[in-house]
């Protein structure tokens, strides 16, 4: 392996099917330096990309970083960013093999994750009528975390709950393990929950040309997020559907395949339309988007 | 191949050795929108990355783009950027397989190029004492082009000369063909001339732990650049050594291997030190850097 310091990185894949994704985090848009430490930011930049690889049923292996930094960026901040990237590499079994640092007015981390796929890619477009819809874990933490940070006041929340939610925004964990499991259970379709359950379910439905019905009562709201939202009177439905940054996977698969997993069934694939079952009533899925840092 | 529209791109490599590079172009640092069209900017963002792949002796195949754009960016500009990327893909035989568009205060294109390597990587660090140093083509156009653009006045220059030089800055061509040839001639070391012959030769020398001697009289100054620099009284040596953005390759290889190429011998690898032969006198290589848009 040839890593940083030559014109390009060179590495050996074990197979021939390569998977790659790129995503940029921009200061003030995707993170705020007054909310997140440099290490958090570096970790998150890796997580969001590794999550895209996992959502294809592939395993992330190699990372490249194009770091755009204002000239006044201190060595301490740069060191922190790379520390966070290093911690993410340990967490995900990836390696930073290449990169570039350029001057820019705004701190921006554009990470590319490259991975390997054994088996078939799990696309957004493979959902079939009759599949169940499942999520790989609870949602809502990051959205509550952002709201807490915006309100600059966590007084009603237990410190543990507040920290869990703010950490979910600052330093999200990608579900690399669940990505590998997608292959094992031969899932039909998957997408990572970066923009919120509502918009991401909509994307899967559009790509697969099917309909989706989500049973709100079955959506696993993270307990910490639920407690804080209830105490504050925040609209849990809106946080869960439009919240974003959960980085769990939304999966469509035959019901019998769900059994070997600890994923949570939240709905099903139907012929047409986007539906939410709320208190036993089927209503059109609200068109909630997620705009970072705006409530 | 799965391209844009899923969580990740998926593609099939023919071999197992993968080469990857990432480089970001930032408005006001690497390009100016009043100098370069959106199509030029898109083309250049591909060229600088493809050049890094070529400099390893590898062939670029796949591209990903993280596009950071201010909200006020018009559809026309976005269309132009992608047009330029598309033109570069045709020129280089590459394919845009993935990407992401995010909101940002400054237009930034972070491209990742992924390629395949047949044979051994041609590293910066492989130069050996006794090798000749060669460049794959003439240098100096882009530096003169930037100077012309900065001076906002091309009155002494023929329109053809001025256009050739300004185009070299706006829409540089990477030497993908020469990159493949590096393999054929079993070159010992290579680096692409992105920052200037002086700094890039220095990098090769440091990586290879050898010395370098450049014969200034043999360095092929692009005729258009030479004519304009002479007419303006610009320091050709400085433009050539510190100019940057030529995107030719600097190659170290045994003399006999040079014969099958049209590369130009400009010096040799020596034991130690960085030397410039000027008017028959060997002097220390000036430590010229290249700062974009500053003369």
Pick the CATH number of B18-116 from 3.30.1330.10, 3.90.1150.150, 3.30.300.30, 3.40.50.300: 3.30.1330.10
Q: Judge if pTM exceeds 0.80.
A: yes
- Alpha-carbon gap, residue B171 to B188, rounded angstroms: 29
| ipTM score for this prediction | 0.92
Q: Percent of chain B beyond pLDDT 70? A: 96
Rg (alpha carbons) of chain A, rounded to whole number: 19
Cα–Cα–Cα angle for A10, A11, A14, rounded to 5 degrees: 155
Please provide the DSSP assignment of B14-25 as one string: SSSEEEEEEEEE
| CB burial readout B192-226, b (16+ within 10 A) else e | bbbbbbbbbbbbbbebbebbbbbbbeebbbbebbb
**Cα atoms in the Cβ-side hemisphere of radius 13 Å centred on A134:** 26
Q: What pLDDT band is residue B289 in, cutting at 50, 70 and 90?
A: low
Mean pLDDT over residues B19-28, rounded? 96
Contact across the interface for B15 and A16, Cβ inside 8 Å: yes
Choose the closest CB to A112 out of B55, B112, B191.
Answer: B112
CATH fold of the domain at B124-284: Phosphoribosyl-aminoimidazole Synthetase; Chain A, domain 2 (3.90.650)
Which residues of A are less than 8 Å from B208 in CB distance? none
Residue A62 sits at the chain B interface (C-beta within 8 Å): yes
- A17-56 exposure pattern, b = at least 16 Cβ within 10 A, e = fewer: bbbbbbbbbbbebbbbeebbbbbbbbbbbbbbbbbbbbbb
CB < 8 Å from B in window 103-142 of A: 103-106, 108, 110, 112-115, 117, 121, 123-125
pLDDT tens, position by position, B68-78: 999 999 999 99
Chain B: residue whose CA lies nearest to A98? B21
3-state secondary structure (DSSP) of residue A83: helix
What would the pLDDT profile of A67-100 be if each residue is shown by its tens digit?
A: 999 999 999 999 999 999 999 999 999 999 999 8
In chain B, CATH 3.30.1330.10 sits at: 18-116
Give ranges for CATH 3.90.650.10 in chain B.
Answer: 124-284
How far is it, in rounded angstroms, from Cα B102 to Cα B104?
6
* pLDDT mean across residues, chain A: 94
Work out the end-to-end distance of chain B between its first and last CA atoms, rounded to an integer number of angstroms.
Answer: 45
How do B59-69 and A95-103 pair as beta strands? unpaired
Contact by Cβ (8 Å): B139, B240 = yes
Decide if B205 contacts B218 (C-beta within 8 A): no
Angle, helices B223-232/B159-170, rounded to nearest 10 degrees: 110
């Amino acid at each position: 392996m040839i890593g940083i310091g030559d014109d390009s990185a060179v590495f050996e894949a074990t197979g021939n099917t390569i998977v790659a994704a790129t995503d940029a985090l921009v200061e003030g848009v995707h993170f705020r330096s007054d909310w997140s430490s440099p290490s958090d930011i570096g970790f998150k930049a890796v997580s969001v990309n590794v999550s895209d690889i996992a959502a294809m049923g592939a395993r992330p292996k190699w990372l490249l970083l194009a770091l755009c930094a204002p000239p006044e960026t201190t060595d301490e901040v740069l060191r922190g960013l790379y520390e966070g990237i290093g911690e993410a590499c340990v967490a995900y079994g990836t390696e930073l093999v290449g990169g570039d640092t350029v001057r820019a007015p705004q701190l921006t981390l554009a990470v590319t994750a490259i991975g390997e796929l054994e088996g078939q890619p799990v696309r957004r477009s493979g959902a079939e009528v009759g599949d169940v819809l499942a999520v790989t874990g609870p949602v809502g933490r990051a959205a509550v975390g952002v709201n807490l940070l915006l309100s600059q006041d966590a007084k009603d929340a237990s410190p543990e709950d507040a920290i869990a939610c703010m950490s979910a925004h600052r330093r999200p964990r990608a579900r690399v393990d669940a990505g590998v499991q997608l292959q094992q259970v031969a899932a039909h379709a998957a997408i990572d929950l970066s923009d919120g359950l509502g918009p991401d379910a909509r994307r899967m439905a559009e790509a697969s040309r099917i309909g989706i019905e989500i049973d709100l009562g079955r959506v696993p709201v993270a307990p910490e997020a639920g407690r804080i939202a209830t105490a504050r009177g925040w609209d849990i439905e809106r946080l869960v559907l439009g919240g974003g940054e959960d980085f769990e996977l939304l999966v469509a698969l035959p019901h019998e395949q769900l059994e070997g997993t600890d994923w949570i069934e939240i709905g099903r694939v139907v012929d047409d339309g986007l539906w939410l079952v709320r208190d036993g009533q089927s209503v059109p899925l609200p068109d909630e988007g997620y705009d970072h840092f705006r409530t």
